[in-house]
Amino acid sequence: MSRRGKAGDEFGSLDLLLDTVCNMFGLFIFIGIIVAILAGARSKEIITKASPAGAAASDPLSQERSALRRLRVMVADAEKKSPDDGESRIASGKLDSLRDSNEKTSQKTQELAVILKIGGDRSEALQVELPSLREEIERLEGELKAESSMQDKKVRTPRKREVEGLLPVQVILWHDRVYWINPWLGSIDEPCARWSEWNTNAVDMAAHPESVIHECFRGGGQWIERHVPLLVGGGIEVGPDGAREWEQPLRELLARLATKNQVVSLKVAPDSHRAFGPVRNLIAEKGFAYEVSPIQMSDGIYRDEIRDGVATAQ
């Protein structure tokens, strides 16, 4: 009996040893599974964080492409907004200019993409072209935002009935400069005299400006033909976006007028689209009615014909 009891104890101890070994192997397997799961989750997180940087490195023009897409949307939105009849051709010229610049910038981006795709000196192409491309994109975005803000202000050309009976004051925009051709210092009871006086800061007196008065009646019925050579580099230069030094001289000139008696007649040359918006906003801010008409002036001479107080520019 003692031998059988001793053999049973030995077999029981062996079973306990086998159980312990099996449990240890199971624990190792369980720990291995946990480590594998954690390692997989960590690798996915690292790949997710690194993917944007990798995408940017693989396509250095990604930011420029996104900017161009924004520009196209902004141009499309601007085209949907319809200005008043008096400003439609001015706005159309501005949009055409922005669209052309946008297309040129897009073409430059495509050329860079081709260079990067086929190889070549990649770093040199990026260093030379990308800074100028980014500056052009920023300029276009700034101009489009400025145009959008102007339209949001709801500044418009006054209707005909709002300017009837008001005396027109011709203001010329040429080469992004404001040419205030008549001083408007005397009484407005003699309009023909006021239209025939010249502002020496805007008019080239050496070129002999002319004002031929065919008819002039105080109660109406004027007929005047004028040839006004503008002074190159004269007038008030409208500075770049953000510059405000030009505003005070124009405010002083507008202070010579009366909102109840006079209307500002803006004559805008094709090379002055940039100056048109800020000048128009300042005139509207001072409470003046205004009218807008485009002009062609290749020789620097402003020509118009005033009949019954209405000037028709040529």
Residues 78-120: tens digit of each pLDDT: 655 545 554 555 555 556 666 666 676 667 666 666 666 555 5
Q: How far apart are CA 81 and CA 158, in angstroms?
A: 18
Q: Bridge partners of 192?
A: none
Confidence grade of residue 267 (pLDDT, cut at 50, 70, 90): very high
Nearest CA-CA partner of 161 in 62, 273, 289: 289
High-pLDDT (> 90) share of the chain, %: 28
Note the pLDDT tens digit of each residue in 269-309. 989 988 998 999 899 999 898 888 899 888 999 999 988 75
Q: How far apart are CA 298 and CA 137, in angstroms?
A: 31
Bigger pLDDT: 4 vs 292: 292
- Of the ranges 154-158, 167-171, 239-243, the best mean pLDDT one: 167-171
Confidence grade of residue 24 (pLDDT, cut at 50, 70, 90): confident
What average pLDDT does the chain have?
75
Q: Is the pLDDT assigned to residue 268 strictly greater than 70?
A: yes
Q: Is the pLDDT assigned to residue 143 strictly greater than 60?
A: yes
pLDDT of 1 reads 47
- Of the ranges 3-7, 77-81, 155-159, 204-208, the best mean pLDDT one: 204-208
Instruction: Please check whether residue 81 is in contact with residue 126, taking contact to mean a CB–CB distance below 8 angstroms.
Output: no
Other beta carbons less than 10 A from residue 119's beta carbon: 7
Q: Is the pLDDT assigned to residue 255 strictly greater than 90?
A: yes
pLDDT of 161 reads 46
pLDDT of 203 reads 96
CA–CA distance from 277 to each of 69, 72, 87, 173, 240 (Å)? 25, 21, 11, 11, 12
Note the pLDDT tens digit of each residue in 49-58. 555 544 444 5
Confidence grade of residue 189 (pLDDT, cut at 50, 70, 90): confident
Q: Looking at 125-261, which runs of residues are DSSP E strands?
A: 167-174, 177-180, 210-215, 223-229, 236-237
Q: Is the pLDDT assigned to residue 130 strictly greater than 70?
A: no
pLDDT of 55 reads 45
Domain map (residue ranges) of the chain = 1-58, 59-152, 160-313
Confidence grade of residue 227 (pLDDT, cut at 50, 70, 90): very high
Bigger pLDDT: 4 vs 226: 226
Among 4-13, 154-163, 178-187, 238-247, where is mean pLDDT lowest?
154-163
pLDDT of 163 reads 58
Q: Is the pLDDT assigned to residue 258 strictly greater than 60?
A: yes
Average pLDDT value for residue range 204-216: 93
> What global pTM score does this model have?
0.53
